[in-house]
């Protein structure tokens, strides 16, 4: 083996190990940034040595080519659903039926598992490699979502079984973040994590699935071992993520206890469960009991009661976020939903209010799920004197102007010095994983902003001991600690600063890529939209937002002050000379099936190639889409190779992410 192929294999092995630690065992040893950097190193090596690339490399998780539609495929055996037990009595009925069918005195055990609230997915392996992933569909035939499933890191790309079935879920945290982003972008929000999981798995572009970070819990192994207990153990050994909370029960009392326990504790989990699945443990006994037309007789789903209650919308007020976006919040007549008093529910934006048709005074159905902010499901009854909500004309916090830009769902306070925005901005700057200023939480930031001690993030670095020590809940010791933490944050690397600035669409990853491409904040601030798009994964939307941020005089001033505070503005540039398209010149013409021209250009450049505007003898390839015009004639005349989008993506390395 050459040293390159050795290096590639070692990286793959390491990445697989870290994926397993992170996604299956929840025990990461690397930070996200270290993991990303290892992944990028592997990608770069594979790009430079396409002959060493393999289908099951961890880099394949970033998302393969977009598809035109999903192919329907028949399941190896039907994916049936389960009968429900809506309460304890129905669960006891199930137990009686099982005992009746098994016959007097026969010994048996149950296995109780959490019922994950997602969508089921069958994953097939051939020769130890992931070959096909199918959604449940109508139970008989499912949709082939293989490329998308490959991006889910708790589904091993290499594993020994024939087929595994399980549930794709969205974590509550990821769900909330996604909806926040969608609301801010004016996209419809997902009703719950299950819909978000379905929506993310059934998209044509795997890069979207990849960006959503779904999880997979496995619970069926085909062919099955003799017991369900054994199934769960083997799945775990094979590298699948198995719900850690399952229990082998010797009788119905143990089963009931497990169901009650998780009905109480469901909020403590990072993902949604909607019940407990109770299964007969022995497969031989399962087979004797068999199936009805629609469900097995040997299992039942004990469903938790829905967490919805009716209440009255007493008012709708707006909250101002970091980007100035106003979020309407329904103030509710307090209502207890399975033990938790709920008095507020998010309404996201004006479009959502319109979709729900909700007015102040209406009776609505409110749903609470876990730690997620409660939401209004629908209007149950209009109030006799209900009144429509109007977005305020002025910001409720600073009285500044409110603007709703064309095509945007969010109305925003455009005063960048609005205290509400400022507080959110400072909190984000100080947050863990951003500038990491421990001790700078809400209580402190509120006081700093309200007393005018901090008017922007640069002011944080000018704070003195005397400023802090007199604040509420601040002693000498904690003031000193906070100051030391502020000081330490001066050495945070550039990507963190970029993330901390709170530029729309620039999160951790984009910040990293921008820093690696430009190497200096000065360069990023001065770059045109076109230049910005040379950074990997930066498209027109992000470029425009970055440009707009740095064009704003207040922000320019801020940057200068941060420079004066000796923050770290430089970063090591990642050379991409070794990219798969290094040394090649491309010309683009016509319309491509998936990529926009800008996308194509960006990807070619990211892979080390050049894009030129006109065909000449120096052109290596003309990438021609539909309705290609004179450039195509010219290329033929000069005998320049003509390729299509698919071939281009292949040359880049297949990843459409």
The residues binding ligand IVH (CB under 6 A) are 80-82, 113, 115-116, 120, 167, 219-220, 277, 296, 299, 301
Q: 296 vs 374, which CB is nearer to ligand IVH?
A: 296
Contact present, 586 and 605 (Cβ < 8 Å): no
Question: Which positions ≥6 away from 506 have C-beta within 8 Å?
Answer: 498, 499, 514, 542, 545, 546
* CB of 523 vs ligand IVH, minimal distance in Å: 50
* CB of 228 vs ligand IVH, minimal distance in Å: 9
Q: 41 vs 83, which CB is nearer to ligand IVH?
A: 83
* CB of 256 vs ligand IVH, minimal distance in Å: 18
Alpha-carbon dihedral sign for residues 389, 390, 391, 392:
negative
Beta strand residue intervals within 105-148, DSSP E: 110-116, 119-126, 129-135, 141-143
Contact present, 610 and 586 (Cβ < 8 Å): yes
DSSP per position, 262-328: HHHHGGGSSB-EEEEEEEESBHHHHHHH-B-SSSBTTEEEEEPPP-EEEEEEEEEEEEE-TTSBEEE
* CB of 114 vs ligand IVH, minimal distance in Å: 6
Burial of 74 (0-12, 13-18, 19+ CB in 10 A): exposed
For residue 303, what are the β-bridge partners?
A: 275
What is the set of active-site residues? Answer: 115
DSSP per position, 169-200: E-BHHHHHHHHHHHHHHTPPPPSSHHHHHHHH
CA–CA gap between residue 57 and residue 18 (Å, rounded): 14
CA–CA gap between residue 240 and residue 20 (Å, rounded): 8
Pairing status of strand 641-643 against strand 621-624: parallel
DSSP per position, 466-508: HHHHTSTT--HHHHHHHHHHHHHHTT--HHHHHHHTT-TT--H
CA–CA gap between residue 307 and residue 88 (Å, rounded): 17
* CB of 309 vs ligand IVH, minimal distance in Å: 24
* CB of 80 vs ligand IVH, minimal distance in Å: 5
For residue 110, what are the β-bridge partners?
A: 249, 280
What's the half-sphere exposure (Cβ side, CA atoms, 13 Å) at 623?
29
CA–CA gap between residue 545 and residue 550 (Å, rounded): 9
CB-nearest residue to ligand IVH: 120
* CB of 244 vs ligand IVH, minimal distance in Å: 12
CA 303 to chain centre: 27
CA–CA gap between residue 284 and residue 227 (Å, rounded): 8
CA–CA gap between residue 509 and residue 396 (Å, rounded): 33
* CB of 258 vs ligand IVH, minimal distance in Å: 12
CA 99 to chain centre: 44
* CB of 238 vs ligand IVH, minimal distance in Å: 17
Q: Per 3-state DSSP, what percentage of the chain is helix, strand, and coil (rounded to 5)?
A: 40, 20, 40
* CB of 119 vs ligand IVH, minimal distance in Å: 7
Contact present, 656 and 64 (Cβ < 8 Å): yes
For residue 144, give the DSSP letter.
B
CA 486 to chain centre: 30
């Amino acid at each position: 083996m050459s040293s390159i192929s050795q290096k590639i294999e070692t990286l793959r092995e390491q990445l697989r190990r870290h994926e397993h630690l992170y996604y299956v065992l929840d025990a990461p040893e690397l930070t996200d940034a270290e993991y990303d950097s290892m992944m990028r190193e592997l990608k770069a090596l594979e790009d430079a040595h396409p002959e060493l690339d393999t289908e099951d490399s961890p880099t394949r998780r970033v998302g393969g080519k977009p598809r035109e539609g999903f192919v329907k495929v028949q399941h190896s055996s039907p994916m049936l659903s389960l009968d429900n037990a809506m309460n304890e009595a129905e669960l006891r009925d199930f137990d009686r039926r099982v005992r009746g069918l098994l016959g007097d005195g026969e010994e048996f055990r149950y296995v109780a598992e959490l019922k994950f609230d997602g969508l089921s997915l069958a994953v097939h392996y051939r020769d130890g490699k992931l070959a096909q992933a199918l959604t449940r569909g109508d139970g008989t035939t499912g949709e082939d979502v293989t490329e998308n499933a490959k991006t889910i890191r708790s589904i091993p790309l290499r594993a020994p079984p024939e087929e595994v079935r399980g549930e794709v879920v969205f974590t509550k945290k990821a769900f909330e973040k996604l909806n926040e982003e969608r609301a801010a972008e004016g996209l419809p929000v997902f009703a719950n994590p299950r819909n978000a999981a379905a929506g993310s798995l059934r998209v044509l572009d795997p890069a979207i699935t990849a960006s959503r970070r779904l999880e997979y819990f496995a619970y069926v192994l085909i062919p099955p071992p003799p017991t369900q207990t054994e199934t769960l153990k083997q799945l775990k050994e094979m590298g699948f993520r198995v719900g850690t909370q399952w229990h082998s029960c010797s009788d119905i009392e143990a089963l009931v206890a497990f169901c009650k326990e998780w009905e109480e504790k469901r909020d403590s989990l990072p993902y949604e469960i909607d019940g407990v699945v109770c299964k007969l443990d022995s497969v031989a006994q399962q087979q004797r009991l068999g199936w009805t037309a629609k469900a097995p007789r040997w299992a039942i789903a004990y469903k938790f009661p829905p967490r919805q209650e009716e209440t009255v919308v007493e008012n709708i007020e707006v909250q101002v976020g970091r980007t100035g976006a106003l979020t309407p919040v329904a103030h509710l007549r307090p209502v207890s939903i399975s033990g938790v008093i709920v008095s507020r529910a998010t309404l996201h934006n004006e479009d959502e209010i319109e979709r729900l048709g909700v007015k102040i005074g209406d009776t609505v159905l409110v749903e609470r799920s876990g730690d997620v902010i409660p939401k209004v499901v629908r209007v149950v009854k209009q109030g006799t004197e209900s009144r429509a909500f109007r977005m305020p004309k002025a910001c409720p916090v600073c009285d500044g102007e409110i603007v709703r830009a064309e095509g945007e769902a969010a109305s925003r306070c455009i005063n960048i010095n609005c205290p509400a925005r400022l507080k959110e901005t400072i909190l984000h700057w100080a947050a863990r994983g951003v500038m990491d200023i421990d001790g700078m939480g809400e209580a402190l930031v509120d006081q700093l902003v309200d007393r005018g001690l901090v008017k922007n993030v640069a002011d944080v670095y000018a704070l003195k001991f005397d400023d802090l020590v007199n604040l509420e809940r601040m002693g000498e010791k904690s003031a000193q600690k906070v100051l030391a933490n502020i000081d330490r944050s001066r050495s945070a690397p550039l990507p963190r600063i970029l993330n901390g600035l709170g530029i729309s669409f620039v999160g951790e990853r984009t910040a990293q890529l921008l820093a690696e491409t430009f190497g200096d904040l000065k360069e990023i601030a001065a770059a045109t939209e076109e230049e910005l798009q040379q950074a990997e994964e930066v498209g027109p939307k992000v470029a425009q937002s970055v440009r707009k941020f740095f064009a704003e005089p207040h922000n320019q001033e801020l940057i200068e002050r941060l420079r004066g505070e000796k923050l770290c503005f430089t970063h090591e540039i990642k050379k991409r000379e070794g990219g798969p398209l290094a040394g090649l010149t491309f010309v683009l013409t016509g319309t491509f099936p998936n990529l926009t021209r800008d996308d194509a250009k960006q990807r070619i450049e990211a892979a080390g190639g050049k894009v030129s505007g006109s065909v000449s003898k120096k052109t290596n390839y003309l990438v021609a889409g539909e309705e290609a015009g004179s450039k195509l004639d010219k290329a033929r005349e000069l005998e320049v190779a003509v390729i299509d989008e698919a071939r281009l993506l292949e040359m880049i390395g297949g990843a459409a992410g």
